[in-house]
Structure 1
Amino acid sequence: MRILVVLAHPLEESFAAGVAETIRRKLLANGHTVDFLDLYRENFDPRLTSTERARYFQPDYDVSEAEPFVRRLQQADGLVLVFPQWWFNFPAILKGYVDRVFVPGVAFDNDPAGGRLRPKLRNIRVLWAFTSTGSPWWIVHLYMGNPVRRLLKRGIAAFCARGLDFKLVNLYDMDRSNEEKRRAHLARVEMLVGRL
């Protein structure tokens, strides 16, 4: 499979970068093709432009402003996202990636009658996300209702693709984790990715 791995973290030596590199190495070792997209290092501009927004509901949405990133998504069989959860959400650069790349005609078609979006990412068979959060699991799940999972599974996955393999893997309580816990998490990531 051709897997697009998207990393969203500003620090090159971050734990998220280590997770992304573990994923990249394991996928390559298993014979997959990896397109590694580091949003910060590739200077991705997350701001939806006024022209992009103005033509959002027009027929034949023009993807030219984000075309290289759109093309990479369209060429992938699987998408793996790696990011920290900040304020129980995506980092802004990843939210901007979704806003500018998962657009009409690429990720979905608008229903002219105003009904449900029609999924268009038939090429994507796998959507996995590897995240970390400073909060313990009970705050994420019981208090906040796991908003990142809902956004990815009920939103992006359901509205943009059909029948894909979805997985969210989270390291909780990252702010208080020690080296042993982080090493164990990396081993878990490698084991899971080895199943692809």
Structure 2
Amino acid sequence: MKTVIVYNHPYNGSFCHALLEAAVAGSEKAGNTVDVIDLDSDNFDPVMTGADLLAFRNHEMIDWKAKEYVARIRQADHLVFIFPIWWELMPAMMKGFIDKVIFPGSTYSYTKSGYGMNTLLTNLKTATVITTMNTPKIMYSTIYGNALKKAMVKGTLKKSGFKNVHWVSFNMVKSSKEATRKKWLAKVENIFYKK
């Protein structure tokens, strides 16, 4: 089994980075191979240019880094995203990854009607989204309408043909106690140990 983790956080001392380490540790304990796509370390350019948009229309990806990411994802059984939620959604670099990598002709195709999509990443068995935020869970779901679930889980991954998508959210991280964080890290390690 091979896991590709798409990671986005600019600070290596963050709790997101600790979650990344827990996911890698759990996967390796299970005997799985792990490939980490670190968008910040890669200096990934999230900006869609006019040329990128024309390529999107023509279903011919031109961004060389995006092409490399797709090639790496095509070798995986499990795709994971780890990032913080800022202002109710993902940071710009993760949004840019979605814009430039979840791409027609490369990761999905349209159905004949044009209303649906089929994934071209048939190698993937599951996808997991792991996020951190400081908003209480009840507020995020009621006041902010689970924005990440609508935009990424449903509006991107499931829409483009992913079948088994799971979202794990850690809320109120800034005010959480060390004991709570240790439990969360153990939970993530255990999730990936079982994959």
Task: Tell me whether the two structures share a fold, i.e. TM-score over 0.5.
Answer: yes
Gaps of 5+ in 2: none
What is the distance in 2 between the residues matched to 1:32 and 1:91? 28
What is the distance in 1 between the residues matched to 2:90 and 2:128? 14
Could you list the structure 1 runs, at least 4 aligned residues long, displaced by more than 6 angstroms after superposition: none
Q: Does structure 1 residue 181 correspond to structure 2 residue 147?
A: no
What is the distance in 1 between the residues matched to 2:112 and 2:47? 26
Q: Give the aligned length.
A: 194
What is the distance in 2 between the residues matched to 1:191 and 1:97? 27
Give the secondary-structure state (helix, strand or coil) at the position aligned to 2:174: helix
Of residues 152-161 and 17-26 in structure 1, the stretch that sits farther from structure 2 once superposed is 152-161
Q: How does 1:62-141 map to 2 (within 5 A)?
A: 62-65=61-64, 66-111=66-111, 114-141=114-141
Please name the residue that 2:56 is paired with. Answer: 56
Q: Structure 1's 115 and 37: CA in aligned 2 closer, same or farther, altered over 3 A? A: same
- Equivalent residues of 1:2, 1:34 under 8 A apart: yes
Gaps of 5+ in 1: none
What is the distance in 2 between the residues matched to 1:84 and 1:148? 11
Give the secondary-structure state (helix, strand or coil) at the position aligned to 1:57: helix
- Equivalent residues of 1:4, 1:37 under 8 A apart: yes
What is the distance in 2 between the residues matched to 1:7 and 1:118? 25
Q: Which amino acid aligns with 1:62?
A: M
Please name the residue that 1:193 is paired with. Answer: 192
Q: Which amino acid aligns with 1:151?
A: A
Of residues 65-74 and 87-96 in structure 1, the stretch that sits farther from structure 2 once superposed is 65-74
What is the distance in 1 between the residues matched to 2:167 and 2:38? 19
Q: For the aligned residues, what is the CA RMSD?
A: 1.7
Q: Which amino acid aligns with 2:170?
A: L
Of residues 182-191 and 87-96 in structure 1, the stretch that sits farther from structure 2 once superposed is 182-191
Percent of aligned pairs with the same amino acid: 28
What is the distance in 2 between the residues matched to 1:34 and 1:133? 25
> Shift of residue 103 of structure 1?
0.4
Of residues 145-154 and 79-88 in structure 1, the stretch that sits farther from structure 2 once superposed is 145-154
- Equivalent residues of 1:84, 1:131 under 8 A apart: yes
What is the distance in 2 between the residues matched to 1:62 and 1:132? 31
Give the secondary-structure state (helix, strand or coil) at the position aligned to 1:104: coil
- Equivalent residues of 2:126, 2:163 under 8 A apart: no
Q: How does 1:42-53 map to 2 (within 5 A)?
A: 42-53=42-53
Please name the residue that 1:11 is paired with. Answer: 11
Q: Does structure 1 residue 150 correspond to structure 2 residue 150?
A: yes
Please name the residue that 1:171 is paired with. Answer: 170
- Equivalent residues of 2:6, 2:39 under 8 A apart: yes
> Shift of residue 113 of structure 1?
5.3
